[in-house]
């Protein structure tokens, strides 16, 4: 296994932490971004105690200038980025007729704008080196839509449109671009859904429970593996059977 440099955005969150850890166990050097330094350093220390050494770079993925600075800082600390996991994301759930322009724009900028902001500074280097792995963390709700998530579903569906275009443009450069679409996973994001609503959602999952972040990280690791070199433009749904469209 070749050691590569991986940047996982939103690595301090529930799914992001699992992805960082999984990639580290695969022998990669892993970095993530932060906005709040104190929170990030506490996270870094906790990971260190668990045996993981992750690099940190300041950057807001919704902002092109700071996202580029973040990529350059990761390169300075670890070297050129070979693996990019566009994972950072937020929700601002509300029915569309109540949605403010800010609730729309924040979700589009963070969840979809980030794909441009973070991928643009790494793509030239991947093309020059003729190797790269880019994975978008989309969502079941980008595939099927969700009551109260017009902003989120639009951004998450857009992420896969981004994937399949980038996959075509970069296939000849040894770069694969894929999407992982998780269903409901037990992180802070899902725990913020009102309990009664959440219980109704869990009742719709054939496997009968929320997903575990490690179950998402495993799929990301699959796409990143050297042997996955002929898999590009794919969307892998991991949702306990809640949505089986194809």
Active-site positions? Answer: 152
Instruction: Tell which one of 184, 205, 219, 240 touches ligand NAP (CB under 6 A).
Output: 184
Q: Which is nearer to ligand NAP, 127 or 198 (CB)?
A: 198
Nearer to ligand NAP, 117 or 232 (CB): 117
DSSP 185: B
Answer for the pair 184, 201: CB distance below 8 angstroms, yes or no.
Answer: yes
137 touches, from ligand CAA, ligand NAP, none (C-beta below 5 to 8 Å by class): ligand NAP
User: Using the rule CB under 6 A, is 60 a contact of ligand NAP?
Assistant: yes
Nearest position to ligand CAA, beta carbon? 148
**Among 26, 66, 105, 146, which residue interacts with ligand CAA (rule: CB under 6 A)?**
146
Count CB-CB contacts under 10 A for residue 106. 17
Only one residue has tokens 């443009």, namely 169
171 is in the binding site of which of ligand CAA, ligand NAP, none (Cβ under 5 to 8 A by kind)? Answer: none
Interaction of residue 95 with ligand CAA, rule CB under 6 A? yes
103 contacts ligand CAA (rule: CB under 6 A): no
Residue with the two structure tokens 């350059």: 72
Is 147 a binding residue for ligand CAA by CB under 6 A? The answer is yes
Only segment of 93-101, 123-131, 171-179, 182-190 that touches ligand NAP (CB under 6 A)? 182-190
CB-based burial, 223-238: b 16+ in 10 Å, e otherwise: bbeeeeeeebbbbbbb
Q: What angle do CA 147, 109, 137 make, to 5 degrees?
A: 65
Cα(90)–Cα(75) distance, integer angstroms: 26
- Asked if 104 is part of the footprint of ligand CAA (rule: CB under 6 A), the reply reads no
Give the SS3 label for residue 90: coil
Among 113, 148, 158, 240, binds ligand CAA (CB under 6 A): 148
From CA 246, how far away is CA 240, in angstroms rounded?
15
CA angle 169, 160, 117 (to 5 degrees): 70
Helical (H) or strand (E) element with 181: strand 175-182
Residue 59: exposure state from Cβ atoms within 10 A (0-12, 13-18, ≥19): buried
CB of 128 to ligand NAP, least distance (A): 26
Contacting positions for ligand NAP (CB under 6 A):
9-10, 12-16, 33, 35-36, 39, 60-62, 87-90, 110, 137, 139, 182, 184-185, 187-190
Contacting positions for ligand CAA (CB under 6 A):
91, 93-95, 98, 139-141, 146-149, 152, 184, 189-190, 193-194, 197, 201
């Amino acid at each position: 296994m070749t050691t590569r440099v991986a940047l996982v955005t939103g690595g301090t969150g529930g799914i992001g932490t699992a992805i960082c850890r999984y990639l580290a166990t695969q022998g990669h050097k892993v970095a993530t971004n932060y906005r709040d330094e104190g929170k990030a350093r506490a996270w870094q220390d906790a990971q260190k105690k668990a045996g993981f050494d992750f690099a940190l770079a300041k950057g807001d993925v919704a902002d092109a200038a700071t996202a580029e600075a973040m990529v350059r800082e990761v390169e300075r600390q670890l070297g050129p980025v070979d693996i990019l996991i566009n994972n950072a994301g937020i929700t601002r759930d509300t029915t569309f007729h109540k949605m403010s322009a800010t609730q729309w724009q924040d979700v589009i900028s963070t969840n979809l704008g980030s794909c441009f902001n973070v991928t643009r500074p790494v793509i030239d280097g991947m093309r020059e080196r003729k190797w790269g792995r880019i994975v978008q963390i989309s969502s079941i709700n980008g595939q099927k839509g969700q009551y109260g998530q017009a902003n989120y579903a639009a951004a998450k569906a857009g992420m896969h449109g981004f994937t399949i275009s980038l996959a075509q443009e970069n296939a000849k450069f040894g770069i694969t671009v894929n999407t992982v679409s998780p269903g409901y996973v037990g992180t802070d994001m899902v725990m913020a859904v009102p309990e009664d609503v959440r219980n109704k959602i869990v009742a719709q999952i054939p496997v009968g429970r929320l997903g575990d972040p490690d179950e998402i990280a495993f799929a990301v690791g699959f796409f990143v593996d050297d042997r996955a070199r002929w898999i590009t433009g794919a969307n892998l749904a991991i949702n306990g059977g809640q949505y089986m469209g194809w």
